[in-house]
């Protein structure tokens, strides 16, 4: 005999989940290709793309291949890229002096992309870790035990002007030095680049999720370890209030966009910063987040397409306006 029991309910939230069209009509968070920035790695020479073992589907690209990739991304509706150089170890030293070379790899990459795909927004990393033999984001003090804040900031400000002159739309200081945003803003303005924006890595945590990225840019090999400690300048993963303070300071110093990095393990921080500031909020789904989804999918434990979509949806739902992700190309193709 069929069960005829029926609840006497006025509120039945499942009504709005009953059909695909109802679910679409009431969807609160929507991902678009325009939400994404695609991080790209660039190398010297004319060789074939160099696959990064710890980041399936991601390769270092020569300048010609970089331009081809940028054209493809633009056609998919992705509005921006973030460039990261992989330098030959012979070009690195303790001071990271190649960061100030006027015809360095990253500057040639910027000029090539802006010439070929002028509508694409180009973001460049402002930090010294790809250029130093020790793999830190700045220059070390006399004892070699810590990054020297003010001397590093002076270098980063000069670096920002070189990038602006090459045509960069947004410089992105990722070093976490105190006072670097205001120093960069003042230096850019004084050099006539008041239109160049700053996307500050405002809440960059001393995370264990950066290992594959360090492989990609070669800072892991330079330091001799993927576990290089940066706790004296990157944020303590235990701290929420400190992240909000950093974002507020960066906005006050002239940041146009603030960023949280990593993204997925720090959704609470994204939400806190979104509430605290009025500027656009970016979040970086870092290499380790990308790699772990791929690794689990390869083992058959997770559905790659569904997990990448859900992971990015969660980041946007938490409050991110902009998402840097290595899934950008695949997601843009899927969404379109």
What is the structure's pLDDT at 69? 98
Cβ-contact 173, 159 below 8 angstroms: no
Arithmetic mean of pLDDT, 248-261: 98
- Average pLDDT of the segment spanning 250-272: 98
pLDDT of residue 223: 46
Catalytic residues: 204, 261
| pLDDT, position 112 | 98
Instruction: Write down the pLDDT at residue 218.
Output: 80
Question: What is the model's pLDDT at position 190?
Answer: 98
268-296: per-residue pLDDT in tens? 999 999 999 999 999 999 999 999 999 99
Where residue 318 falls among pLDDT bands split at 50, 70, 90?
Answer: very high
- Write out pLDDT tens, residues 196-213: 999 999 999 999 999 899
Please count the other Cβ atoms lying within 10 Å of the Cβ belonging to residue 227: 11
The pLDDT assigned to 222 comes to 44
pLDDT over 50 at 111, yes or no: yes
**N- to C-terminal Cα separation, the chain:** 49
Q: What is the pLDDT of residues 119-155, one digit of tens each?
A: 999 999 999 999 999 999 999 999 989 999 999 999 9
Report the distance separating Cα 33 and Cα 336, nearest Å.
8
Q: Residues 7-22: what's their mean pLDDT?
A: 96
Share of the chain above pLDDT 70, in %: 97
- pLDDT of residue 323 exceeding 80, the answer is yes
Mean pLDDT of 65-88: 97
Distance between alpha carbon 120 and the CA centroid of its chain, in Å?
Answer: 16
Largest CA distance in the chain: 85
- Could you tell me which of 113, 121, 118 has the C-alpha nearest to residue 68? 113
Which residues neighbour 76 within 8 Å (Cβ) at sequence distance 6 or greater? 33, 329, 332, 333, 336
**What is the reported pLDDT for 2?**
63
The alpha carbon dihedral of 109, 110, 115, 119 has a sign of positive
CA 327 vs. chain centroid, Å, equals 12
CA atoms within 13 A on the CB side of 88: 6
- The highest-level CATH class for domain 31-335 is alpha beta
Q: How far apart are CA 219 and CA 130, in angstroms?
A: 6
Residue spans of beta strands (DSSP E) within 180-248? 197-204
- Pairwise CA distance, residues 1 & 279, whole Å: 61
């Amino acid at each position: 005999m069929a069960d005829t029991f029926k609840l006497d309910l006025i509120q039945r939230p499942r009504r709005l989940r009953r059909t695909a069209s109802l679910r679409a009509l009431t969807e609160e968070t929507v991902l678009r290709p325009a939400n994404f920035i695609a991080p790209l790695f660039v190398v010297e020479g004319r060789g074939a793309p160099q696959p990064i073992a710890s980041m399936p589907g991601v390769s270092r690209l020569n300048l010609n291949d970089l331009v081809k990739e940028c054209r493809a991304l633009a056609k998919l509706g992705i509005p921006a890229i973030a460039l990261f150089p992989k330098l030959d170890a012979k070009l690195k030293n303790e001071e990271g002096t190649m960061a100030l070379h006027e015809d360095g790899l990253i500057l040639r990459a910027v000029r090539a992309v802006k010439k070929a795909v002028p509508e694409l927004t180009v973001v460049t990393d402002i930090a010294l870790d790809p250029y130093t033999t020790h793999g830190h984001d700045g220059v070390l003090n006399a004892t070699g035990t810590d990054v020297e804040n003010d001397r590093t900031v002076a270098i980063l400000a000069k670096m920002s002007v070189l990038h602006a002159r090459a045509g960069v739309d947004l410089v992105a200081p990722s070093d976490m030095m105190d006072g670097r945003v205001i120093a960069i803003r003042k230096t850019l303005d004084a050099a006539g680049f008041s239109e160049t924006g700053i996307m500050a890595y405002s809440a960059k945590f001393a995370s264990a999720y950066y290992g594959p990225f360090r492989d990609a840019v070669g800072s892991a090999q330079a330091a001799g370890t993927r576990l290089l400690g940066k706790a004296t300048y990157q944020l303590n993963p235990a701290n929420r209030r400190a992240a909000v303070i950093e974002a507020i300071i960066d906005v006050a110093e002239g940041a146009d966009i603030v960023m949280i990095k990593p993204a997925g393990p720090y959704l609470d921080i994204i939400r806190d910063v979104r509430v605290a500031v009025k500027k656009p909020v970016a979040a970086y789904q870092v290499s380790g987040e990308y790699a772990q989804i791929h690794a689990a999918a390869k083992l058959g434990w997770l559905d790659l397409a569904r997990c990448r979509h859900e992971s990015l949806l969660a980041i946007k739902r938490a409050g991110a306006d902009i998402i840097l992700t290595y899934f950008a190309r695949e997601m843009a193709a899927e969404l379109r």
